[in-house]
Chains A and B, each alone.
Chain A
Amino acid sequence: MSLLEIKNLHASVNGNEILKGIDLTVNPGEVHSIMGPNGSGKSTLAQVLARRESYNVTAGAISFAGKDLLGMKPEEAACEGLFMAFQYPVEIPGISNAYFLRAALNAIRKYRGEDEMDAMDFLPLLKEKMRMLEMDERFLNRPVNEGFSGGEKKRNEIVQMAVLEPRLAVLDETDSGLDIDALKIVAKGVNAMRSKERSMVLVTHYQRLLDYIVPDFVHVLVNGRIVKSGGPELALELEQKGYSWTEGQLAGARR
């Protein structure tokens, strides 16, 4: 059974239709990359998957692990195993990283009927994941994302993903604002999490990320529609020919 099945998804923001009929199926263990120019609807797709309220779904259906994703609140989707790494991680002053992440983990465990994890068991787990992302332990007690550099924020997102162990990870422009060293660290963390059960959707503008996290499928999103799908080689082709190439194809196809 597929993990994620998107059918004819239409969505609008402030009355403007951004997604105009998306179909996408993601099976367990698959890594899909959604590529596209600015304004094509990549981030909107990510936000809709994460159930952000201000994104209004006007038509279509999404099933996630056999359940109706569109009927879920953001926290329910999260508890069902959907994780989004934010393009712009948010700062929460006064709440330590460790406290926040344990609260999140325990909310998810509670939802699944599991026992809550106490601080004694949680800290070693968190420290291990932080080492993997090469984050200093001082980040444990720093307020969530406050005063973090862009790269630190992105690494912190992957630390969270590693702790929460989602079934589906949606990475929204995780490569943006990263220098090459940080990108390698992030990619290492993400690759370490690839497994037969876990699926990923990488939303990105550039092919660069895909050198380090090699996807199984690449989809090109233009003007709210997937205009082309293929293997990793499609990303390279895009890199060479530019997005105007697919736009031309789309125009051709319409004619």
Chain B
Amino acid sequence: MSSTVNQIQDLTQQEYKWGFTTQVDEDRLPPGLNEDVIRAIAAKKGEPEFMLEWRLKAYRYWAQQEQKHAEPKWANVKFAPIDYQAISYYSAPKKKKELKSLDEVDPEILDTYTKLGIPLHEQKLLAGVAVDAVFDSVSVATTFKEKLAEAGVIFCSFSEAVKNHPELVKKYLGSVVPYTDNFFAALNSAVFSDGSFVYVPKGVRCPMELSTYFRINAQNTGQFERTLIIADEGAYVSYLEGCTAPIRDENQLHAAVVELIAHDNATIKYSTVQNWYPGDKEGKGGIYNFVTKRGKALGKNSKISWTQVETGSAITWKYPSCILQGDNSVGEFYSVALTNNYQQADTGTKMIHIGKNTKSTVVSKGISAGHGQNTYRGMVKILKGATGGRNYTQCDSLLIGDKCGAHTFPYIEVKNASARMEHEASTSKIGEDQIFYLQQRGVSKEEAVSMIINGFCKAVFKELPMEFAVEAQKLLSISLEGSVG
């Protein structure tokens, strides 16, 4: 596993240097969105009828919403209207078949990788070169697949799941985030190109952390991906999502959906380190990261835990949430969101307590620098039947400089008198005296800032798997470079 970790680290330590484009032949639909486009996507993917029907229903719902201009407008973010007809909804490099050596890879792609500073064996992985057993990474990937199969864990791309496990997809797709949930979820349901699928059978503890790293690079997922994770009774799975892989996205809208389902006594831990292109220092360009993530703690004693480190994207609109349906179920949300330059983030969570004795914990750390605007938006809802429901929310903001902003919108709705709620919040400025103190001990200014920030984020970082925590710390430092004058 360690070589994997090194790979991920090598990849993600790169600073964002995307100021170049690469000319490659692509299999690509012309811009525009209508029923024919939906049919074309389903046809290209060879999907069964039920998927097409579902996509079409989603599309029709979305089209209605679009007519009514029903894009969510309540978030504390500003951006020019998106022309949905100007986007191409399917795009894949043409040379999808496996190549025998790097010589067969488009030199333009190789050039891009070289510019990104990606080592040669990783270039092979990324380019989809048939991986022979010589390379560490490959043998790791192979043992990895074998080990999972042995345990009965299904971990594959969404497309493969549709082909090989249609009954599971049919049963669970849209069961947590229906296509009518919101504008962007509807759009995603209609056009999603691929994503991840995980099924952990009864009583199985997934023998390793599952990471999107292999899959994303092998499959070239687009910007509308969909993830579905099911943990059957007593199962455990930890899933890592690193959005730091060098994916070449031409369009700026990224609307993903993630659905988690935890049955009785099952636990799903979902960790994200998001570092999409944030735009330049003047706020030009960057990804609009409009994502719907929700988990259903369906069974008794089930647990869903979200941890996110959001450092990238021009705009982040994202509320990983938990529906605590099973009695004694537990929901957690640990978040670090950083906005620098002209980045905007409106992020938080919803904890919906339905079952008895349900418990939720929310720890949010917002960091604003430059002209960044950072909003925490959270809802804790204790329904009538949720006797003994408990929530603890802690929500801290850190400001660097005097041109950024931090905003907090906590909503609390309690319909059962036995509920116990705790809410703590703080806002602080990174102190010149703190930086000077560290400098006086020999630490450089940049390191001092990164140390102070890491201290601030400690409660969240300790929830991340070890390697990811190290990664996240480095990412924060890189993202903040130059923010302290």
Chain A positions within 8 Å of B, measured between CB atoms, are 50, 52-54, 73-75, 77-79, 83-84, 86, 89-95, 100-101, 103-105, 107-108, 111, 143, 160, 164
| Cβ-defined contact, B434 with A90, below 8 A | yes
Residues of B with C-beta under 8 A to A104:
438, 441-443
B437 at the interface (CB under 8 A from A): yes
Chain B positions within 8 Å of A, measured between CB atoms, are 431-434, 436-445, 447, 451-452, 454-459
- In the assembled complex, the CB of B139 is this many whole angstroms from the nearest CB of chain A, namely 31
Known: A50-B440, A100-B451, A108-B442. 17 other contacts (CB 8 A): A54-B432, A73-B445, A78-B440, A79-B442, A84-B440, A90-B437, A92-B451, A92-B455, A93-B455, A95-B452, A95-B454, A95-B458, A104-B441, A107-B441, A107-B442, A107-B447, A111-B442
Residues of B with C-beta under 8 A to A94:
454-459
In the complex formed, the residue of B with least CB distance to A110 is B442
| Cβ-defined contact, B451 with A73, below 8 A | no
Q: Tell me, in angstroms, the Cα distance from A86 to B437 when the chains sit together.
A: 8
- In the assembled complex, the CB of A156 is this many whole angstroms from the nearest CB of chain B, namely 12
In the complex formed, the residue of B with least CB distance to A81 is B442
Q: Known: A90-B434, A95-B451, A103-B447. Is A74-B440 also a contact (CB below 8 A)?
A: yes
Q: Tell me, in angstroms, the Cα distance from A93 to B445 when the chains sit together.
A: 17
| Cβ-defined contact, A143 with B434, below 8 A | no
- 28 CB contacts below 8 A, A to B, read A50-B436, A53-B436, A73-B445, A74-B436, A74-B439, A75-B440, A75-B442, A78-B440, A78-B441, A78-B442, A90-B433, A90-B434, A90-B436, A93-B455, A94-B454, A94-B456, A95-B451, A95-B452, A95-B458, A100-B438, A100-B441, A101-B441, A103-B443, A104-B442, A104-B443, A105-B442, A107-B447, A111-B442
In-complex Cβ contact of A92 among B437, B439, B440 (8 A): B437
Residues of A with C-beta under 8 A to B444:
75, 107
| Cβ-defined contact, B442 with A93, below 8 A | no
In the complex formed, the residue of A with least CB distance to B453 is A94
Q: Tell me, in angstroms, the Cα distance from A111 to B442 when the chains sit together.
A: 9
| Cβ-defined contact, A160 with B441, below 8 A | yes
Q: Known: A94-B458, A107-B444. Is A75-B439 also a contact (CB below 8 A)?
A: yes
Residues of B with C-beta under 8 A to A93:
455-456
- In the assembled complex, the CB of A203 is this many whole angstroms from the nearest CB of chain B, namely 15
Return the 3 tightest CB-CB contacts between A and B, nearest first: A94-B455, A104-B441, A74-B439
SS of B interface (majority): helix
Residues of B with C-beta under 8 A to A86:
437, 440
Q: Tell me, in angstroms, the Cα distance from A232 to B431 when the chains sit together.
A: 38
In the complex formed, the residue of B with least CB distance to A93 is B455
Q: Tell me, in angstroms, the Cα distance from A160 to B441 when the chains sit together.
A: 9
Residues of B with C-beta under 8 A to A75:
439-440, 442-445
Q: Which of B438, B441, B452, B454 has the most CB of A within 10 A?
A: B441
Q: Tell me, in angstroms, the Cα distance from A98 to B97 when the chains sit together.
A: 53
- In the assembled complex, the CB of A166 is this many whole angstroms from the nearest CB of chain B, namely 10
Q: Tell me, in angstroms, the Cα distance from A194 to B434 when the chains sit together.
A: 28
Residues of B with C-beta under 8 A to A54:
432
Q: Which of B432, B433, B443 has the most CB of A within 10 A?
A: B443
- In the assembled complex, the CB of A18 is this many whole angstroms from the nearest CB of chain B, namely 18
- In the assembled complex, the CB of B161 is this many whole angstroms from the nearest CB of chain A, namely 41
Residues of A with C-beta under 8 A to B451:
92, 95, 100, 103
- In the assembled complex, the CB of A106 is this many whole angstroms from the nearest CB of chain B, namely 8
Residues of A with C-beta under 8 A to B432:
54
- In the assembled complex, the CB of A99 is this many whole angstroms from the nearest CB of chain B, namely 9
In the complex formed, the residue of B with least CB distance to A77 is B440
Q: Tell me, in angstroms, the Cα distance from A164 to B436 when the chains sit together.
A: 17
- In the assembled complex, the CB of A84 is this many whole angstroms from the nearest CB of chain B, namely 6
In the complex formed, the residue of B with least CB distance to A82 is B440
Q: Which of B437, B440, B452 has the most CB of A within 10 A?
A: B440
Q: Tell me, in angstroms, the Cα distance from A103 to B441 when the chains sit together.
A: 9
